[in-house]
Amino acid sequence: MSSLAADVQEARARHLSISEEALTADLVDGRTIIVPLVWYPRLWHGTAEERSHFEIFGDGAYIHWPDLDEDLTVAGLLAGRHSGESAESLKRWSDSRKGSGKGESL
């Protein structure tokens, strides 16, 4: 017995690029997702160098930025999920970067 749920496969990233304004993910099924970078404050406030240092893992299901301590899922990008980080957590992260010369302050 077949069902739609069984036929749907999780979206997976093949390639990722990041501009000053957007994150673009090319998926293995041929689709391309473009989301505003401002949805993810750590990426938005990170430097271009930090944003360009990422890993795609889990067979393309996950994206990790070690320099920014940011993790996203391709499923979350497709669902239009913004960062769920609290303002307090983001401020602690930003404060921890002060003096390191990295990124913008909030």
Domain boundaries, the chain: 10-97
Q: Which CATH number fits domain 10-97: 3.30.499.10, 3.40.50.1000, 3.30.70.100, 3.30.2020.40?
A: 3.30.2020.40
Band of residue 100 on the pLDDT scale cut at 50, 70, 90: low
Which among 104, 100, 86 is positioned nearest to 43, based on CA atoms? 104
Compute the mean pLDDT over every residue in the chain, rounded to the nearest whole number. 88
Give the three-state DSSP class for 78.
Answer: helix
Reported as a single tens digit per residue, the pLDDT across 45-75 is 999 999 999 999 999 999 999 999 999 999 9
Q: Which helix (H) or strand (E) covers residue 65, if one does?
A: strand 62-65
Distance spanning both ends of the chain, measured CA to CA:
53
Helix (H) or strand (E) holding 102, with range, is none
Residue 6: its pLDDT value, please? 43
CA 27 to the chain's CA centroid:
14
7 confidence band (pLDDT: 50, 70, 90): very low
Q: Give one DSSP letter per residue of 53-101, joined into a string.
A: --EEETTTTEEEETTTTEEEEHHHHHHTPPP---HHHHHHHHHHHTTTT
For residues 97 and 89, give the distance between their C-alpha atoms in angstroms, rounded to a whole number. Answer: 13
Q: Model-level pTM? A: 0.82
d(CA 30, CA 51): 24
Residue type, 83: S
